[in-house]
Chain A
Amino acid sequence: MIYLELVVQGIVQGSIYALIALGLTLVYGLLRILHVAHAALFTLGGYIGVLVTNSTGNFPLAMLTAMIVVGFVGIAVYKLAYEPLLEKPPYIALIASIALFIASEEIFRILFGPYGLSYTNPPLQLSFELLPDFYLKQGELLVIVGSIIMLTVLALVSGKTRMGVSWRATVTDPKMAQAFGINIQHVRYWNFFVGSALAAAAGVLVALLNNLVEPTMGSVTSYKALAIIVLGGLGSIRGTLIASLAIGIIESFGTIYIGHLMNRDAIAFAFLIVVLMFRPQGLLGAK
Chain B
Amino acid sequence: MNIKKNMIATFLGIGLLTSPSFADNVRIGFHAPLTGFAASDGKSAQNGALLAVEQINAAGGIKGDILELVIYDDQASPKESVPIAQRLVEKDKVVATISGSYSGATRAAAGIFQESGVPYISAYAIHPDITRAGDHVFRTSFVGEVQGRAGAKLIGEALGLKRVVVITLQNDFGKSLAAGFKEKAKEFGIEIVAEYEYSIKDRQFGPIVSKVRSDKPDAIYASGYFFTAGPLVSQLRAAGIDAPVIGQEGYDSQKFIDIAGPASEGVIITTSLDRDSKVPETMNFIAAFEKMSGQKSDMVAASAHTAVHVLANALRTSGDGTSLRDAIAATDLTASTGHISFNALGEVGKAVQVQIVRDGNWHHHSVIDDAEFLAAPTE
Contacts and interface: CB of A to CB of B under 8 A. Distances in A.
B211 A256 contact: yes
Contacts of A6: 207, 210-211
Contacts of B367: none
A252 B235 CA distance: 15
B227 interface: yes
Nearest to B237: A125
A219 B201 contact: yes
B169 to A, nearest CB: 10
A234 interface: no
Interface string B19-60: 000000000000000111101101100000000000000000
Nearest to B254: A115
Contact of B204 (A1, A206, A215, A265): A206
Max chain B C-beta neighbours (<10 A), residue from A13, A212, A253: A212
A174 interface: no
A84 to B, nearest CB: 27
Contacts of A260: 195-197
Nearest to A224: B201
A215 B213 CA distance: 31
B261 interface: yes
A91 interface: no
B259 A212 contact: yes
Give chain B's interface residue range (CB within 8 Å of chain A).
35 or more
A116 B203 CA distance: 13
Interface in B246-303: 255, 258-261
B364 to A, nearest CB: 24
Nearest to A121: B261
A13 B261 contact: no
Contacts, number: 115
Contact of B170 (A106, A219, A263): A263
B78 interface: no
Interface in A125-181: 125-127, 133, 135, 137, 140
Nearest to A212: B259
Given A122-B261, A125-B238, A264-B198, A210 B206 contact: no
B206 A12 contact: yes
Interface of B is mostly: helix
Contact of A252 (B207, B240, B258, B260): B207
A220 B39 contact: no
B204 A214 contact: no
B207 A256 contact: yes
A13 B203 CA distance: 11
Contacts of A12: 206
A264 B37 contact: no
A219 B208 contact: no
A127 B196 CA distance: 23
A114 B197 contact: no
A116 B239 contact: no
Contacts of A215: 39
A212 B37 contact: no
A135 B206 CA distance: 11
A137 B208 contact: no
A4 B88 CA distance: 56
Contacts of A206: 203-204
Given A9-B210, A137-B239, A252-B207, A116 B196 contact: no
A198 to B, nearest CB: 18
B237 to A, nearest CB: 9
Interface magnitude class on chain A: 35 or more
A251 to B, nearest CB: 8
A137 B234 CA distance: 12
A163 B238 CA distance: 42
B21 to A, nearest CB: 37
Given A212-B203, A256-B208, A264-B198, A2 B259 contact: no
A110 to B, nearest CB: 10
Contacts of A191: none
B206 A211 contact: no
B214 interface: yes
Contact of B260 (A109, A133, A211, A259): A211
A118 interface: yes
A190 to B, nearest CB: 31
Contacts of A251: 207
Contacts of A115: 40, 43, 255
A71 interface: no
B23 to A, nearest CB: 35
A5 interface: yes
Nearest to B230: A212
B207 A10 contact: yes
Interface string B200-237: 01111011101101100000000000010011001100
A260 B178 CA distance: 13
Given A9-B206, A115-B40, A209-B235, 16 more contacts: A12-B206, A106-B35, A109-B35, A114-B39, A114-B43, A115-B43, A115-B255, A116-B255, A118-B261, A121-B261, A135-B213, A210-B234, A219-B201, A256-B211, A260-B195, A260-B196
Interface of A: 1-2, 5-6, 9-10, 12-13, 105-106, 109, 114-116, 118, 121-122, 125-127, 133, 135, 137, 140, 206, 209-212, 214-217, 219-220, 251-253, 255-256, 259-260, 263-265
23 contacts: A1-B214, A10-B207, A109-B39, A114-B39, A116-B227, A118-B259, A127-B238, A127-B239, A135-B210, A135-B213, A206-B204, A210-B231, A211-B260, A212-B227, A212-B230, A220-B201, A251-B207, A252-B206, A253-B207, A255-B207, A256-B208, A260-B197, A264-B199
4 nearest A-B pairs in the assembled complex, by CB-CB distance: A9-B206, A114-B39, A263-B199, A5-B210
